[in-house]
Amino acid sequence: MTVKVTSVGLKGLEGYRVQVEVKIKTGTESIVIVGLPDASVKESRERVVAALSHFDVDVTDQKVVINLSPSEQKKNGPLFDLAIAIAALKELHMIKSAIPTNAAFIGALSLDGMVVKAEGMLPALISAKGLGIKKIYLPYDPTIPIHMLEGLECIVIQHIEEVVQHLEGQELLPFHQSLSSNDQIPLFADQPQKDFRHVIGHEQAKRALEIAAAGEHNLLMSGPPGCGKSLLAETFPSILPTLTNQAQLEVMSLYQLAGERSSQHQNAPYRNPHHSASSVAIIGGGSSPRPGEISLAHRGVLFLDEIAEFTKKTIDMLRQPLETGQVTISRAHSTVTYPSSFILIGAMNPCPCGFLGSHDYYCTCSPKQIQAYRNRLSGPIFDRLDILLSLKSINLDQPASNVQESSCDIRTRVEKARQLQYQRYQTEISNAKVPFEVITHTSPLTSDQQNMVSNVAAKQNWSNRVQIKIIKLARTISDLDGEDKITDAAIWEAMTLRRRGLPKLQSIARET
């Protein structure tokens, strides 16, 4: 009878159940793995045979057939080593007890029988919960927060002999019990390095950033060099709420798949790629598609400094992720989907030289150069930006009027606004990400408010998408004010945030 053991495979961040079947019979000596294995899976043959030698098992003069089901799904990575070895030991009657059907085995094997960690273990564990798996055997990995995986019994092992002993009914070693303590899991600092109390002036910009944080709205800042665009963007994560357990697991999984390490998983991630980065680095891809910057910024912030210096193709590739909150990467051998729900913050100069509208410097750019510079951001991208800010340089010699508000105070208001949104929509989703029909159902506009938005939109030539974003902005502003309904003042402030800085740029385009 063929032995079946459960493991977990990965397709991007999505996991699926893999049935490992092993059949050993007398015949020409060979070990065959079928089920679309890649090179790393095929190499499991040698690792498994070496591990089996610790049980005085000899598979010479025998034919070993290993099937990884579903057969139409390409298998990659060494996560199946442990499951293959356990299935082989069961087939050879080295394991007498029945293997539970709701248990899974993941981990790579070394030649001495040690079970070692492999890439993608955390997303595999998260997927195992959704697949109905109750118990999973895995190697020790200090970066995996086992205490956060509720509803899944994680049995951490070091050697394949420990797996056999546990399946035969032996008690866990104290080593296993110690891993369940939160003290053994490294916690990450949640204190941001920058604070808004250190940012002088820019009160309107701080208000706009608070609104963006409360509703997860995208924002574009335009201003001369050195006016504080980068400083505001770098300080912005300090007012974002800390991530929930589920969000932390998603972020950690993406970083593991990308082969990167993050020192602060409790904070919202902050990514700041250089404008020379390729489209693959930003969006993700490769022969084996890996997460890009937009996925590494999931649940956090993607800051594109000098956004107009990125290639137009790269910027336009952000359209789908900004709308759907995920990115689908298609290659000849595979198609994967990664989550990419982030807040986009862009910063750019008002013109190529940067001094358009400055009172201290003379702009040397022609209208044609300014128009060409602005055209690097296409209309569809502008439509997907909720807030447009025009910044000016601050005089640092002016006396300080009041004590600057700290990021902690702003974050408290942001968290309250987020909680109102979560209660309204009965899920952890913000105003910027919720479908518009849900907004109209939960917070309908009055006829006067609808006419107000329509009249201004006609004068500003705003598209339907921009009008929807105005309404979502107004909903966030009302949440910050603690209002149950969208107020007229919130709508006016939302339209001001969208209109600020744009007429000057549009008038330049008309002049040419």
CB 35 within 8 A of CB 99: no
Cα separation, 115 vs 20, in Å, equals 17
CB 467 within 8 A of CB 491: no
Residue 492 binned pLDDT confidence (cut-offs 50, 70, 90): very high
Strand 14-26 relative to strand 62-69, pairing: antiparallel
For position 336, which CATH number holds?
A: 3.40.50.300
Q: Both 82 and 228 in a single domain?
A: no
Q: Both 244 and 211 in a single domain?
A: yes
* DSSP letter (8 states) at residue 100: P
Cα separation, 61 vs 98, in Å, equals 27
How many structural domains is the chain composed of? 2
> Which of 71-75, 258-262, 325-329 comes out lowest in average pLDDT?
258-262
Q: Both 159 and 213 in a single domain?
A: no
Bigger pLDDT: 496 or 143?
Answer: 496
Q: What is the pLDDT of residue 503?
A: 38
N- to C-terminal Cα distance for the chain?
80
Structural domain contains residue 335: yes
Whether the pLDDT of residue 425 is over 50: the answer is yes
Cα separation, 453 vs 460, in Å, equals 10
Neighbours of 224 (CB within 10 A): 22
Q: Both 217 and 148 in a single domain?
A: no
Six token digits for residue 501: 């800085």
Six token digits for residue 105: 């085995």
Q: Both 134 and 9 in a single domain?
A: yes
Residue 304 binned pLDDT confidence (cut-offs 50, 70, 90): very high
Six token digits for residue 169: 């009914």
Q: Both 208 and 178 in a single domain?
A: no
Structural domain contains residue 226: yes
63-97 pLDDT tens trace = 999 999 998 888 988 999 999 999 999 998 899 99
Helix (H, G, I), strand (E, B) or coil at 231: helix
For position 27, which CATH number holds?
A: 3.30.230.10
Q: Side chain identity at 260, as an amino acid letter?
A: E
Supply the range of the domain harboring residue 279.
196-430
**pTM of the predicted model as reported, rounded to 2 decimal places:** 0.87
- pLDDT over 90 for what percent of the chain? 59
Structural domain contains residue 494: no
